[in-house]
Structure 1
Amino acid sequence: MGKKTVNVEPETPFHTFTVEQVAEHYQTSILEGLSSEEAAKRLQTYGHNELEGDGGVKWYKVLWRQVANVLVCVLLIATALAFATKDVAEGSVILFVIVTNAIIGFYQEFNAEQTMEALRNMSSPTAHVIRDEARVTIPNNQAVPGDIMIFEDGDVVGADCRLFEVFNLETDEALLTGESLPVQKNLNVIQQADEALGDRLNMAFSSTTVVKGRAKGIVTSTGMKTQIGQIATSLMNVDANEKTPLQKRLDKMAYCVFLAAIILVVVVFGVHKFQYSNEVAIYAISVSIAIIPEGLVAVVTLTMAFGVRRMADVKAIVRRLSSLESLGAVTNICSDKTGTLTQSKMVAVRMWFPQEGFFRVTGTGFTPEGEIYRQGEMVAGELPAQEELVANGSGSDHFLRTLQVASLCNMAELRRTLHPETHGDWAAIGDPTEIALQVLAHKAGLAKPDLLSQGFQLIAEFPFDSSVKRMSVLYQSPSTNSSAPGAHYIFMKGATERVLGCCVSYRAGDVERSIEGEKGSRIIFEKTIEEKMTLLAERGLRVLTLAYRKFDPQPGVDLVHGLDREEVDSNMVFLGLVGIYDPPRAESRPAVLQCYEAGIRVHMLTGDHPSTAAAIAKEVAIIPEDVPVLNNPLIMTAAQFDAMADDDVDRLVELPRVVARCSPNTKVKMIAALHRRNLFATMTGDGVNDSPSLKAANVGIAMGQSGSDVAKQASDIVLTDDNFATIVKAIAEGRRMFANIQKFIQHLMSANVAEIVVLIIGLAFKDPAGHAVFPMSAVEILFLNMITSSPPAMGLGLEPPSESNMREPPRSAKQGLFSFEVVMDTFIYGLAMGMLSFANYSIVLFGFNHGKMGIGCNNEWSEDCEGIFRARATSYTCMTLLILVHAVNCRALRETGWTINNLKTLEHNKMLWLSIVIGAFLVFPVVYIPGFNHSVFKHSPISYEWGLVIAALLIFILFAEFYKFVKRRVMKPLHLEANGQLEMDRMRTYMTDASNQDSVIDDDRTVKEHK
C-alpha cells in the first residue's frame, strides 16, 4: 500500500521559539496559567480541541436501524399481503404502525445515542492544566492555545505543546512517525523550521502517550491544527455500533419469533387445507402479527438510555454498554485503597527517627499550619505523656535533613489560590502522598520554594515506578563559598523494604552508623525498623521511608541523562519513617456491608504495608476488626500471593481479602484466580500499569479524577468521583436494569402468547363458507401490541429497584434474559390471559348469540355479523385490561402486586401508572366511536359483556396471586439471608479452621460448586 503524502507542517514553527517567545505569543504565564475567563474566550475563538468527522451520531444510521430488523421485516411483509388482498384499511394501519414505531424508535435512540456520545466524551482523555494558578482537570476538548498543560507517566498528550519543564520525559510517537521506540524529550531550541517531527524534541504532540517521566508545556495547537489533526486520524477508533450481549440475545429471540411466525402461518394454511383465499391470507397475517412484540426495540432502547443516564447520575460513566449488562453478575470486587475506599486527603501525622524516637504532627488538609512535637521512644508500649515542641525551622541536624528530603524529593506544589471564590485558600498540585510530605515540610519551616531560593538546584530525577516503589532526585546544594560549587546529594523516598535494601548505614542523631558493622547487625536493624513501622501501620498509617547520601560525580559524566539508576540508588543513609493517614470515606463501610448482603465479596489490593492495609480493611469491614494480622489467610503480601503456583491458589478455601504491597501483575493474577473459580470480577485501577488487569477483569473500572488516560481507555466504566460506594451503586443499577428488561420482555411476550392462544383456538370456528372467524382482527392485535402493551412495558423498564435488589445473589454470568422462571411465567400468564379472553369470546358468541355467524364477518359488519362483532369487542376489551393488569404482576416475579403498599409504590413510576390508566380509557373510544369501530377494528359496542370482562379480571388477579404463592412455597428463595455480621462470622470461622483445611475446597462459591 502506497504512502499518502500529507503536509504536516504547522503554521507557526514553535519548536524554533524559546519558551519566553511562545509564552509572549499566546500571552500566558508558565506559573499562573490562563484565567478561567480568558480560557472561555479562547475556546470561543479557537473552537473545541477535537477532531472533525471522527464519528459522532449519524441520524441516517439510527433511522436505518429502526427499519433493518427482523420484526419490522415481518410487518412489512404483512403490509404487502394486506394490500395484495385489497384490505386497504388493515394495510394502512399496519403501515402506520411501522412508520410510528420507526419515528418513536428513531427519536428515542437518537437522543440516547447523543446522550451516550456526550457521556463517552466525559470519559475520554482529560487534560491537567494550570488555570487561576491552580492545577485543574478539564475535558480535553476544552484545552486552548496558551494553556499550561501537565502530563505524567501514562497520560495521553491532549494537544501540541512547547515543553518548558521536563523530567525524564519519553513519549511514544509511533502514531505520528512510525518510530517504535519512545522519544526522549529536552528543552533545546531547534533552529530548522522544517525539522522532521521525530526530531522536534522540545515538542509534545497530541494523541501521543507519555511512556516515562513528566513535563509541563504551553499548548500551541488544538483540534484540527495539531499534527494528528493535520493527518486526519485519531488515536481512539472504537466501533460504537458493536452489539452488546443483550442486543445479540434479542436478535436471537427475533429470529426465533420469525420462525414461530412462519410455523403459525403454515398451521393456518394447513387448517384450510392450503387453499389460498383473501380470508386465509388475512388470518395468517393476523397470527404472524400477534406473535411479534412490535414495541420491543423502542422499549429496549429507552431502558438502556435510562440506565446510562442513571449511571451518570451516580457518577459512573459507561464507556461500553456491555458492562452495564454485566454489572448484575459481579460476584467479587477488587478495589484499590487510596482514593477509592479512602478520602485521598493524606496528612503526615507521625514520624520516627533512630535515637530521637517518635514525633507527632498536628494540622489537617492542605493548610500548612500545625505543630511538630517530639515524643521520644515508647516505654512498655506507650508513648511518654510529656512532649517537646519543635520550633518552626529548628531541630537537630538529623531532623532538618529528614524534612529537607521530604521537601525536595517531591514534585508537589503548595500555593495560595488567586481564584475569586477561593482567594487565599491553600491549594496543592501533585500526588496526595507528596502533598502530605510537602505540607509537613512547610510546617517544619523547610518549604520547597524556600530551599530552592536558598540555592538548591535539581539536577536529575528518577521518578517513582511501581517496579521499584521508590523515587530519587539529585540536587546540588548551595555553595558555602564563592570559590567552590555546592555539594551534590541524592534524596530518596519510597516503600520501606525497597528503600532499606538501598541503605548501608543509618543516621542516629548527628552520627552515621553502618548497618553492616557487625555480624547480624542488619538483621537487628531491619527488625527494629519493622517493629516501628508496624506500630505506625497498625494505626492505619501509610509508612514512607526517607534516605539520602552525598554524591561525588565522576568527571565528564552527564548528570542529567548519563546516570544509572541502580548506581544512584545505592549506598544510601537511612533517615527515618513518616506515617501518613488517609481516613476512609464515610460511605465505604456501609457500601462494603451492602456488598455482603448482595452476595458480593470485596478484595482490597493496595501498595501499602500489610498492617496499614489491614487497619483500613478493618475500618471499612472488609475483614473483621478483632482478627490478627499475622498468620491471617485473608491477608497476604503480593510477594506471598505471587509466589504461589496456580494450583496452590486454587486449593485455597478462599482467596485473600487484602493483598498488600500489590503490583500490577498481582492484580492480573487475582483476576485469573477468580476466573478459574468461575467468578465474575470487577477491578479498579488508575495507572498505566493497571491496564492489563482492567482489560482482564469482566468489568474494568477506571478512576476519573486520579486515573491516567491509558487506564480510562482500557476500562469499561469510569468513576468521576473515584469512590468505592459508586461501584456498589453501579452494580445496583446494573441489577435493576437487567431485572427490568426481564420484566418488560415477560410482559410483552406474555401478551403475544395470549393473542396466539386466542387466534389458534379460533381456527376451530368457521363461518358457513368454511373460513375461520377472527376472534380478534389484525388491527386489534396491532393496537394491543403497540398502544396497549408497549407503554406499560416502557414503564416496567423504568421501574425503581426492588427492595431485594441488593439482597439477591449475583445472577450467573451465563444466565440470559430467559431464565427458566421467566419462560415459565411467560407461558403460564399468557395461557391464562388467552384462555380467559377466548372464554369471553365464546360465551358472547355461543351463549348470548347462539353461535350465529354470517359470511364475510372478518371484513365488514352486517346484521348477521353483529354477534361475532360483539364477541370480538368483548375479547379485545378483556385482553386489553388483562394486559394492563398483568403489568402490575410483572413488577415482581414472586411478591404480590396487589397489596395497598405495593400499589402505592406505583406513584414512583409515573410512566407505568399513566400507561395503565390511559390504556384503560382508550378502550372506550376504540369500542364505541361509530364507524371507527366497525370499519377499522371490526367490532361493535358492548354493554352487558362488561360483566364478563370484570369477572375475567378478578379471576386472573386471583390466579396470579395463587400462582405466586405456590412459587414462594416451592421455589428456592431469591433473596439472601446473609448480612454483614454473618459474613464477618463466616470469615472468623474460616480463619479458625484454616490450619485444618489443607487442600479441601469447600467455599460455597468456589471451584467445587462451579465445576
Structure 2
Amino acid sequence: MVFSSTTVTKGRGKGIAVNIGMKTEIGKIAKTLASTSVVTRTPLQKKLEILAYALFGLAIILAIIVFGVNKWLVNNEVVIYAISLGISVIPEGLVAVITLTMAFGVRQMAKNYAIVRKLNALEALGSVTNICSDKTGTLTQSKMIATDAWLPGDGLYRISGRNGFSPEGKIYRCGTNGTNETSEIEVEDEEVTSDNMRYAFTRLVQASALCNMAVIKKGKGDDEWHAIGDPTESALQVFAHKAGLSKPVLTAEPFKFELVQEYAFDTELKRMSVVCKEKSTDAYYVFLKGATESVLNQCTKIQFGENEVNLDREKFGPELYNELEKLASKGMRVLSLAYRRVIKSDIEISKWTREKADTDMIFLGLVGIYDPPRPESKAAIQRCFGAGIEVHMLTGDHPTTASAIAKEIGILPLLWSPELENEGKFNSQLVMTAAQFDALSDAEVDNLSELPKVIARCIPDTKVKMIDALHRRNKYVAMTGDGVNDSPSLKKADVGIAMGLGGSDVAKQASDIVLSDDNFATIVNAIAEGRRIFSNIQKFILHLLSGNSGEIVTLIIGLSFIDSDGISVNPMSPLQILFLNMITSSPPAMGLGVERASSDIMRYPPRSKGGLFTWEVIIDMIYYGIVLGGLSLANFVIVVYAIGNGNLGQNCNSSPFGQECAPNDPTCDPIALEIACHQIYRARGTTFATITYILLIHAYNCRSLRDPIWTMKLYDNKILFWSVFGGLLTAIPTFYIPELNSKVFKQLGIGYEWGLIVGAVIIFEIFVEVYKFMKRRYLKPLEIVEGEGLKRQYSLNEYP
C-alpha cells in the first residue's frame, strides 16, 4: 500500500487508487491530528488573561477606595474621579501593540526561511532548552559524495572529485593497511582504469550502479549535473560514472543488464536489493546494499579478489568492523554491498520474495560516503550552547559516523572518544544507538546524569521517547522531522519543526514551524527571533504598566486634595488619562515592539515557561510607577501650594472659573474662585505634562532592564524615535488651543511650569540610573557566564 502524499524518489510500479482525499490512510491520520488538536490558550494569553482579571479587580478596589474616602456620598464628581482611576488602570494600547509585534515577528521569520504556522510557536521559541535535530540535510549539506571504498584483499580505494554530482574524478587503489597478509596488492595510489580494474571492484561498482534508483544528468539550460533520487544513491551513481560503469553503460551492450525485481529499502531491515538479468549470458544477479550489520547477516561468502571464500565471521568480522570504524570516524556514511549469481528460470525468479532473494550473498566491500556539514552549523551550535540550549543529534547513521560529524560541528566535545566513554571518563553516555536507548526503562533514563547528545540508528519511536524523557526533566523541546512517521514526535514536541524542502505534507501539518531551507542555522535564528519577540513584549508591557502605575499613584494620593465643598480635586482629568494611555504611551510601545534583537540575546538562558512577569519586571513597574507618580504629584503641589495660594476653590474639576456665586452672597468671591481654579488647571496641566514627557523618555529606559540610557543609540530604532519625537510635539497643542485646553482637557496653558517639568524628567532619570546601577551591581547577571550551565567547556578536569 502506497500512502497519498508519498514522494517517490526511487523504484517503479503500477498502482490502483482505492481512496482519495480524507478517506486515504494519510487523510485519516491528518483528520486524527486535526481532531485531537485542542485549541488551548498560549502561555502569553494565559498571563494576559490573569493580568486583565487582576487589573479589573484593582479598578474595582480603587473605585471602592474613592467612594469610601468621599464617605459614600456619590455624586457626579465622585463618579468621574472613580472612572478616571479605572481608566488609569487599563493599558488600552496593549492588545494593538501585541498584535503588531506578533505580525512583525511572523514577517521577519518568513524572511529568514522559517514559516510560522501557529502563533504560539513565537512564544515557545523563547523557552526552548533542547533541540533534537536530524543530521542529513539539516546539520549537513545533503550533498553526498563517495570518497572511499574498501574491498577484502584489495584494500582501500580513494575516489577523487568532490564537485557535487559531477562525475569528473578518478579512482586510485591505495592498497591495504597491512592487516591482511594474503593481499595481492603491492603498489599504492595506482589509478584504476578499465584495463586494470579488478574483478571484485567491478562487481562492487555494478552493485552501486544497479542496486540504485537515482539518476544523474546534465541540465538542459546549463552545464551543471543534477541528481534525481535519494542523495545516498546519487552519490553511488556518481561513483559508478567515475569508474566508467554507470547504469546507462551497464544496461547497454555488451552487458545488457535488465531490472527484473526490486525490493525497496526497508527502514527496519536497513537494506535494499534488486534482481537483474544479464541478457548476454541469461544469468540473474542479485545486488544488495545497506547497513553493514544487515548486509553481513545475509552473506555466506566473501569476494576475495577473483575467488569466493567462505565467510568466517569470527576471523573476518573484526577486520571488517575495524575498516568500517576507520571510514565512519571520518564522518562518512558507510554502506556495504553484496551480490550473487543465479541460474534460474524466469518463472522461478518471478516467484521470489525478498527473503528468498537476499540469501547466500557474497560480500563485496564497503563504500564511504561523505556528507559535509553545513558551514554555518558549527557556529549555530556554539550559539545554542552560549544561550543555554542543548543540541541532540538523532540520526539513522552508524554511531561512529554520527559521532564524527557531531564532534566536527561541536555537539560532542573534541575530547570525546568511544574509548574514553567506555572508561567512564564522562558522567554519562553521550552516544547511544536507538536500540540501547529504547531498551532503557523510563526510570533508567531518568537516572542518567545527562541524556545522550547523539542517538544513532534512530527510528521515529525513539524521537518520541526522547521528547518524553526531556519533558520529565522539565525541558522545553524543539524537534525536527520530515517523514509521515515523524508526525507524533512533531506533535508532542513543544515546537515541532518540519522540513519544507524534503518534508511530507503530514509532517508539515503536524508542525508549528516549517523551514523553507531545511537548515539548522535557521532553527537557531528562529529561536533568536522568538527571544526577541518575547523580550520586546516584556519591554512594552513594562513601559505601559509603569505608566499606569504612575497614574494610579497620582490619582490615589490625589484623593487627599479636598476642596471647600469636601470634593476631591482631580490631579488629572479623564481625557488626560486617555490621552496618556492611547496617544502618549501606545506609539512608543509599538516602537519597543519592533525593537531589534540585542547583540547578547543569545547569551541569555532560556526563559521559564511563565517568565513574562518576573519578579524583577514586577518590581521595576512598581518602582518606576512610584517615582513617576511622586514627581508628578510634587509638581502639582508646588504649583498649588508653593507658587500658588493653596486655595483648592470650588467645582474646579469642571470649570476653570469655579462655582458660580449665588446672587447676594457676600461670602462668595468670584475672583478668588477663578484664581484658585486657574491654578488648579495649571497644576493639572503641569502634572499631565510631567507624566507625558517622563513616559516618552522612559521608553528609552525600557529598551534594557539594566543597561544605562547613554549606551543606547538614539536613532537605531526609527519607529521609537519618531513616536517619542511626535509625542513630545503632540502634547503641546493641548495646552494652548483655547477651548481644547480648558473644556476638553480641563487644563490651562503653562509657562514657568516647564522648568518644573524638565527638572522632574532629570530627577526621574537619576532615580532610574541609580536603580539600574544597583541591579547591575547586586543582582545575578542576565547572561550565562563562562563555566555555568551548558556554556561550560568539557575538560579533563571534569573527569571523575
Deviation, structure 1 residue 169: 6.3
Deviation, structure 1 residue 655: 1.6
Q: Deviations over 1:898-945 (max 9, x none)?
A: x2xx232x3221111111111112221121222211111110011111
Distance 1:164 1:756 in 2: 70
The match for 2:654 is 859
The match for 1:844 is 639
Q: Conserved in 2, the CA contact under 8 Å of 1:154 and 1:209? A: no
Change (3 A) 1:153 1:795: farther
Q: Conserved in 1, the CA contact under 8 Å of 2:115 and 2:514? A: yes
- The counterpart of 1:783, out of the listed 567, 579, 591, is 579
Q: Report SS of the residue matched to 1:317.
A: strand
Q: Which segment is superposed worse, 909-918 or 290-299?
A: 909-918
Please, which runs of 5 or more residues in structure 2 have no aligned partner? Answer: 422-428, 658-673
The match for 1:439 is 238
Q: Conserved in 2, the CA contact under 8 Å of 1:154 and 1:709? A: no
The match for 1:958 is 766
The match for 2:745 is 937
Change (3 A) 1:384 1:663: farther
Which amino acid in 2 is paired with 1:883? L
Q: Conserved in 1, the CA contact under 8 Å of 2:328 and 2:404? A: yes
Q: Conserved in 1, the CA contact under 8 Å of 2:785 and 2:791? A: no
The match for 1:339 is 137
2:148 maps to 1:350: yes
The match for 1:230 is none
Deviation, structure 1 residue 545: 0.8
- The counterpart of 2:538, out of the listed 742, 749, 752, is 742
Deviation, structure 1 residue 745: 0.6
Q: TM-score, normalization: structure 2?
A: 0.91
2:515 maps to 1:719: yes
Q: Deviations over 1:565-591 (max 9, x none)?
A: 333333222111000111111111111
Change (3 A) 1:792 1:551: farther
Change (3 A) 1:175 1:618: same
2:473 maps to 1:661: no
Deviation, structure 1 residue 690: 2.1
Deviation, structure 1 residue 646: 2.3
Which amino acid in 1 is paired with 2:653? N
2:107 maps to 1:309: yes
Distance 2:10 2:453 in 1: 45
The match for 2:396 is 607
Distance 1:319 1:366 in 2: 34
The match for 1:8 is none
Change (3 A) 1:154 1:725: farther
Change (3 A) 1:852 1:500: same
Which amino acid in 1 is paired with 2:317? E
Q: Deviations over 1:730-762 (max 9, x none)?
A: 111111111111111111111111111111111
Distance 1:164 1:719 in 2: 24
Q: Report SS of the residue matched to 2:418.
A: coil
Q: Deviations over 1:975-995 (max 9, x none)?
A: 1113799957336544x22xx
2:355 maps to 1:566: yes
Deviation, structure 1 residue 489: 2.5
Q: Conserved in 2, the CA contact under 8 Å of 1:599 and 1:810? A: yes
Deviation, structure 1 residue 874: 0.2
- The counterpart of 1:523, out of the listed 310, 314, 319, is 314
- The counterpart of 1:407, out of the listed 185, 203, 209, is 209
Q: Conserved in 1, the CA contact under 8 Å of 2:390 and 2:790? A: no
The match for 1:580 is 369
2:701 maps to 1:889: yes
Distance 2:454 2:735 in 1: 67
Q: Conserved in 1, the CA contact under 8 Å of 2:413 and 2:794? A: no
Q: Deviations over 1:166-221 (max 9, x none)?
A: 4486978475557x6x9xxxxxxxxxxxxxxxxxxxxxxxx6999xxxxxxxxxxx
- The counterpart of 1:871, out of the listed 683, 703, 724, is 683
Q: Report SS of the residue matched to 1:883.
A: helix
Q: Conserved in 2, the CA contact under 8 Å of 1:394 and 1:400? A: no
Change (3 A) 1:320 1:911: same
Aligned 1:80-159 pairs, distance under 5 A: 156=5
Distance 1:617 1:157 in 2: 30
The match for 1:391 is 193
Distance 2:595 2:551 in 1: 25
Q: Which segment is superposed worse, 749-758 or 663-672?
A: 663-672
- Let me know the Cα RMSD of the aligned residues: 2.9
Deviation, structure 1 residue 870: 0.1
Q: Conserved in 2, the CA contact under 8 Å of 1:346 and 1:432? A: yes
Deviation, structure 1 residue 490: 2.2
Q: Which segment is superposed worse, 443-452 or 409-418?
A: 443-452
2:470 maps to 1:674: yes
- The counterpart of 2:717, out of the listed 909, 933, 956, is 909
- The counterpart of 2:409, out of the listed 617, 620, 623, is 620
The match for 1:710 is 506
Distance 2:21 2:352 in 1: 30
Change (3 A) 1:651 1:549: same
Q: TM-score, normalization: structure 1?
A: 0.72
Q: Report SS of the residue matched to 1:907.
A: coil
Distance 1:157 1:538 in 2: 34
The match for 1:290 is 88
The match for 1:971 is 779
Q: Report SS of the residue matched to 1:908.
A: coil
Q: Conserved in 2, the CA contact under 8 Å of 1:154 and 1:687? A: no
Aligned length: 770
Q: Report SS of the residue matched to 2:251.
A: helix
- The counterpart of 1:272, out of the listed 41, 45, 70, is 70
The match for 1:95 is none
Distance 2:365 2:18 in 1: 38
| Identical positions, percent | 52
The match for 2:271 is 470
Distance 2:702 2:259 in 1: 68
Which amino acid in 2 is paired with 1:441? A
Please, which runs of 5 or more residues in structure 1 have no aligned partner? Answer: 1-151, 183-206, 211-232, 481-485, 516-520, 994-1011
Distance 2:536 2:18 in 1: 45
Q: Deviations over 1:593-618 (max 9, x none)?
A: 11111111222222222222222111
2:612 maps to 1:817: yes
The match for 2:663 is none
Q: Which segment is superposed worse, 385-394 or 463-472?
A: 385-394
Deviation, structure 1 residue 412: 1.1
Change (3 A) 1:731 1:758: same
Q: Deviations over 1:249-298 (max 9, x none)?
A: 21222222222222222222222233332212221221111111100011
Q: Deviations over 1:761-795 (max 9, x none)?
A: 11121222222211111111011001100111111
2:328 maps to 1:537: yes
Q: Report SS of the residue matched to 2:300.
A: strand
Q: Report SS of the residue matched to 2:208.
A: helix
Distance 1:320 1:360 in 2: 48
Q: Conserved in 2, the CA contact under 8 Å of 1:154 and 1:688? A: no
Q: Conserved in 1, the CA contact under 8 Å of 2:446 and 2:469? A: yes
Deviation, structure 1 residue 361: 0.6
Change (3 A) 1:684 1:977: same
Distance 1:855 1:782 in 2: 25
Q: Deviations over 1:471-492 (max 9, x none)?
A: 2222233243xxxxx3332222
Deviation, structure 1 residue 366: 0.8
Change (3 A) 1:988 1:174: farther
Q: Conserved in 2, the CA contact under 8 Å of 1:412 and 1:430? A: yes
Aligned 1:119-268 pairs, distance under 5 A: 156=5, 166-167=12-13, 173=19, 175=21, 177=23, 243-268=41-66
2:176 maps to 1:377: yes
The match for 1:518 is none
Distance 1:384 1:785 in 2: 87
Q: Conserved in 2, the CA contact under 8 Å of 1:637 and 1:659? A: yes
2:402 maps to 1:637: no
Distance 1:169 1:804 in 2: 56
The match for 1:701 is 497
Deviation, structure 1 residue 696: 2.3
Q: Deviations over 1:541-583 (max 9, x none)?
A: 1111111223566886683xx6533333332221110001111
